[in-house]
Structure 1
Amino acid sequence: MAAIKFTKQELKAQRDALARFTRFLPTLILKKQQLQAEIRRLSLALVEKRKALAAVEEGAANWLALFAEPFDMIPYMRVESLQVRQANVAGVSVEVLDEVAFIQTLPPLAPLAASPLWVDQGLETARRLAVLQLEIHFLHRQRQAVAEELRTTSQRVNLFEKVKIPEAKEHIRRIKIALGDLETAAVVRAKMAKGRQKERRRSTS
């Protein structure tokens, strides 16, 4: 416990500190609850995206064997742009994926009209898988950022609840006892001085 001065000024300082801690704690607790709710929301979103990814993969299993037929899909899978925005999630700045745009210009020597019959469906599925994987990646990063903020906020809540507020209350208690003892001692000294004065007056009369 930090050293304190047993003065009225210190008593006021400790009372002011206790008032600040007590006033700020509910805000921290509310933020912690919001972050916990956001963690749950992001976790559920991740579960749903992973289910969707698994469903697309399962649906593609019937024609994946056709990939043995030579056709280079890589030129059709190149991402042209990602639309990403900054969002505020429970006070945490995170990146949110809004859109994935694939390059639409097809290679001149490999038009889709001359490609195997399964390519249209295969390309659509492959792009859907790529989008889902990107969405999962961004959701995972969001959850990591929120989890880190939750860890910091939880530490601050614990600091206020278990250290700062009890410490300020204990300081106030000790200072009040010390000041009370000083006041009592001052009263006793005053009475003793008054008694000595009376004794001197009686002895000189």
Structure 2
Amino acid sequence: MAKVALNKSSLNKEKRSLKTYNRYLPALELKRQQLMAERKKAEEALAETQSQLVDIERLVREQLPMLAREDVPVEELVRVTNITLIDENIVGTAVPRVKNIATSVKPYSDLAKPVWVDFLVEQLQQMVRLRIEYQVRVLRYKALDKATRTTSQRVNLFSKVLIPQTQKSIQKIQIYLSDQDRANVMNAKLSKGKVLAQEARMAKVREQAAGEVDFNGH
């Protein structure tokens, strides 16, 4: 902790700082709680998307075992042609969100492909969208997690470092100034006592001198 000047000016400065910290800390704590709640939502959305992907992959394996056939090529049936993302402001943190995903389907003849290919194309389109959504939601979660950790660090800085240190500095300065006031009072009393004693001595000397004059006069 930096050395604090032990004077009234420094005391007033520390009191102003403490007032600012105590005013800012509740807002910072509220922001941390809001970010934690949003991070929880992002985590749940991420888990949900992952679960949907697993379900589709399982459905395709169960419903389309014929994909193992090499005589029916299905590569690159579905392609992503455009992805539009937008930024959302959540408690002061910019996070991405998918606005639109455009896909295209490679033309194929209904006569040249088995009927199950249509079902496959539908599942592939959904899978592509979910995979992109998953990647964006990972970024979304990471942004909120980082913001939460940063805000938590600031809360700890205020509550566990700045405020206790400032309170300690205020107490130290107040004790010092109080000691100085007592010392000044004592010094003033001592000085007054010395003056009174000096005046008493001078008065006694004057009395003695007056007595001697009176005696010699007789």
Per the normalisation by structure 2, the TM-score is 0.87
Structure 1 residues 13 and 113: alpha-carbon distance in aligned structure 2, compared to 1, 3 A threshold: farther
Question: Which of 158, 161, 164 in structure 1 is aligned with 2:159?
Answer: 161
Distance 1:119 1:12 in 2: 78
TM-fit CA distance, 1:71: 4.0
Pairwise CA distance, 1:115: 2.3
| Amino acid of the structure 1 residue aligned with 2:71 | P
Alignment map for 1:1-205 (pairs within 5 Å): 1-67=1-67, 68-103=69-104, 106-107=106-107, 110-112=108-110, 114-205=112-203
Worse-superposed segment, 48-57 or 124-133: 48-57
Contact 1:76 1:102 in 2 (8 A): no
Q: Percent identity?
A: 32
Note the aligned Cα RMSD (angstroms).
1.6
Q: Which has the higher contact order (CA 8 A, sep 6+)?
A: 1
Taking structure 1 as the reference length, the TM-score comes to: 0.92
User: Which consecutive unaligned segments of at least 5 residues does structure 1 have?
Assistant: none
Structure 2: gaps of 5 or more residues: 204-218
Which structure has the bigger radius of gyration? 2
Range that drifts further, 61-70 or 121-130: 61-70
Aligned-pair distance for 1:25?
Answer: 0.4
Q: Summarize deviations over 1:65-119 as a string: whole Å, max 9, x none.
A: 2222534444432211012101112221011112210125x45xx4455322111
- Residue 52 of structure 1 and its aligned partner are, at CA, apart by 1.4
SS of 2:55's equivalent in the other structure is helix
Q: Secondary structure at the match of 2:62?
A: coil
Give the residue type in structure 1 aligned to 2:6: F
